[in-house]
Amino acid sequence: MLVLGSLYARADEGMWLPHLLGQQRYANMKAKGLKLTAEQLYSINKPSVKDAIVIFGGGCTGEIVSAEGLVFTNHHCGYGAISGASTVEHNYLRDGFYAKTKADEIPAPGLSVTFLVKIDDVTAQVMDSMKQYTPWDRWAVSRDSVLARIARKATEGSGYTGRVYSMFRDNQFLLYTFETFRDVRLVGTPPESVGKFGGDTDNWEWPRHTGDFSIFRIYMGADGKPSDYKKENVPYKAKYFLPISLKGVKEGDFSMIFGYPGGTNRYETSFGVKMATEVRNPSFVYMRDIRLKAMWAEMRKSEANKLQ
């Protein structure tokens, strides 16, 4: 969360695309106390807040908070890496861990951190590519291959990856260009009794009184480019990081959330809601309850099983 400014403001809900904040919401945000310029929020030419907000792992949000690539994320987002670094003898998941020096930071194989480089509107390109297909083939068979081809062509040879996302029920298509760093190391975590207080790793359970955080550091090759883990890799040199104020907050301070939500479907039909609430979700709950009970039975047998 970014806490900025100090004017009185009421809560205002909504999700907006970062590259459109300056056009759609900036005047409103500024009136409520935002002190940053529109270009400081999102820019492809200068360091901006978007360069400090990352995709952590497979889809969580992280925040860069130092010039040397220190990143904060949720405890449940770092959960797999924390358990992976733990052993029965050194159970960091249960007891917590803090590296005293960079040399003590623990590699997290398979964990990555992804930065957003830019967003481009490719709607016209997608629609033009779709003309060769019948209406049925267009959406049932060919759309995903067309989107993948556009993303691949746009980023080929750049060292970046791309993905085209459908927005507003296929009325707009945006190409997100990403840069992914693959050497990520565990720096600190509270014990599970704090990070997972209440016994649930999901952050959408309320009320919650948990210290839901974990700390990692991103490393890069000496050439400044992404690299697999190597002992000689150096801390990532952040383009932009979030300054931390020790002054605290007070009633009426401006606040906003900047990150990577899983998604929303606010235009779902009544039939879709009925399907989710009466068929799909109850089926998921039933099957997952069976699986969780089987896993819990094995976890109770030993500490090693529990970590696995």
Q: pLDDT tens digit string along 264-289?
A: 676 788 999 999 999 999 999 999 99
Q: With 60 as the cut, is the pLDDT of residue 291 above it?
A: yes
Identify the band that residue 15 occupies on the pLDDT scale cut at 50, 70 and 90.
Answer: confident
Identify the band that residue 130 occupies on the pLDDT scale cut at 50, 70 and 90.
Answer: confident
**CB of 84 closer than 8 Å to CB of 78:** no
Cα(172)–Cα(122) distance, integer angstroms: 8
Q: With 60 as the cut, is the pLDDT of residue 197 above it?
A: yes
Mean pLDDT, rounded, of the chain: 89
Mean of the pLDDT values across residues 15-38? 88
Question: Which residues are 219's β-sheet partners?
Answer: 183, 235
Name the 3-class secondary structure at 15. Answer: coil
pLDDT of residue 10: 47
Question: Which residues are 90's β-sheet partners?
Answer: none
Cα(181)–Cα(47) distance, integer angstroms: 18
Task: Specify the pTM.
Answer: 0.86
Q: With 90 as the cut, is the pLDDT of residue 12 above it?
A: no
Q: How many CB atoms lie within 10 A of CB 267?
A: 8
Distances (CA, A) of 206 to 1, 164, 260: 18, 34, 20
- Write the DSSP symbol of residue 298: H
Identify the band that residue 81 occupies on the pLDDT scale cut at 50, 70 and 90.
Answer: very high
Q: How many CB atoms lie within 10 A of CB 304?
A: 10
**CB of 244 closer than 8 Å to CB of 65:** yes
